[in-house]
Amino acid sequence: DLAELHGNGSLRLTTRMTFQLHCVLKGDLKTVFSSVVKAMGSTLGACGDVNRNVMSPSAPYKNRPDYALVEQTANEIAELLAPQSGAYYDVWLDGERFFSHQRENPKVTEDRAYNAHGTNFEGCAEPIYGPLFLPRKFKVGVTVPGDNSIDLLTNDLGLVLISDDAGKPLGYDIYVGGGMGRSHGKATTFARIAEPLGFCDLDDVFHAVKAIVAVQRDYGRRDDRKQARLKYLVSEWGIDKFRTVAEYYFGKKFQPFLELPEWEFKSYLGWMDQGDGKWAYGVFVTVRDGGPEGRGDGPAAVCAARANRIGSLAGGGVGAELGAHARRR
């Protein structure tokens, strides 16, 4: 409805599990933003020199605790790194805050405030980002071993859940320095896949994330935005120096990176057994004639309507699930 009422009717799905509305007039922005938030979505951090949405596999499995944990971790990292000042709410929501039925994990709140090793700016409205925020955008992905449906190594920071033979979660392997962007004609810009940094225990994951963000915040280039992503810092320093500096903010050594199985691409399209007696359906968004992939054009509601028709065959709509995977994690 928002795309039809306030945009050009185009609802676009991105490779980072988000929706885009295009051609929204300035006078309609507040209505669009507040409508998204009231529907339990968010536009917070969708742009700017902050952490963007955190990705995890869209696997629908209800009988896989590892997938459930990485989705929870993705949500909590998004909360950990979300801008903390009230400016977003003051400008777009008249100062009113809307919350989901789940409140922030107390450990997220506690670990965000923890500042034994210089990760935070004391007394600042943005304790992690500080008054200048990050040099550039920051992207995070979280997954399980073998599942590369989120293209983990294209992120600034990638986390892989490690469990023991009995399935008990132990911690996370950490990758840093990925990113596919480059500028045409600029030989100093390049695409780069993330490389292994080390391993951290499960209880330390938020501290590890903060440490890596703090390194980028304090040492990433601010004089040239085309050289400001974390991948350029890792490339310039090398992984060993980066690890040493990150360990200063972390307050301990990273453990050795644990061996992982080969990566597989999983599309999650078509019918899938959720493991709880129900089925899920992964919707393929076709290419519009003469247009790019991922556009739900003419009108935007067609995509959601088709998804719900498919869901009705399985005894329930899937439009809500599409929204759940595309919201700010």
State mean pLDDT over 131-151.
98
Q: What is the mean pLDDT of residues 276-301?
A: 66
Residue type, 288: R
Locate the domains of the chain by residue range.
2-43+269-326, 65-84+105-250
Q: What is the pLDDT of residues 55-110, one digit of tens each?
A: 999 999 999 999 999 999 999 999 999 999 988 888 888 877 765 445 799 999 99
| Angle of CA points 250, 259, 275, to nearest 5° | 100
Percent of residues, the chain, with pLDDT higher than 90: 71
Q: What is the rounded average pLDDT for all residues in the chain?
A: 88
pLDDT in tens, 289-327: 445 445 555 554 555 555 555 555 555 544 434 444 433
Q: Which of 308, 310, 286 is nearest to 298 (CA)?
A: 286
**Whole-number pLDDT of residue 11:** 85
- The predicted-structure confidence for 160-169, as pLDDT tens digits, reads as follows 999 999 999 9
Domain spanning 65-84+105-250: CATH superfamily: Sulfite Reductase Hemoprotein, domain 1 (3.30.413.10)
Assigned token pair, 259: 């061996």
Region 235-252 average pLDDT: 99
**Is a pLDDT exceeding 90 seen at residue 158?**
yes
Is cis: bond before 299, omega within 30 of 0? yes
pLDDT in tens, 22-44: 999 999 999 999 999 888 888 99
The whole-number pLDDT of residue 321 equals 44
pLDDT of amino acid 93 = 84
Mean pLDDT of the region 131-146:
98
Q: What is the number of other CB atoms lying within 10 angstroms of the CB of residue 200?
A: 25
pLDDT, tens digit, for every residue of 177-206?
A: 999 999 999 999 999 999 999 999 999 999
Residue 275 contacts by C-beta under 8 Å, 6 or more apart in sequence? Answer: 61, 62, 63, 64
Q: Does residue 329 contact residue 56 with C-beta atoms inside 8 Å?
A: yes
Distance between CA atoms of residues 142 and 68, nearest Å:
11
Phi/psi of residue 166, each to 5°? -90, 0
Q: What percent of the chain has pLDDT over 70?
A: 85
pLDDT for residue 282 is more than 50: yes
Model's pTM, two decimal places?
0.88
Residue range 212-232: average pLDDT?
Answer: 98
Task: Please indicate whether residue 53 or residue 283 has the higher confidence score (pLDDT).
Answer: 53
Q: Supply the pLDDT for residue 301.
A: 53
pLDDT at 318: 44
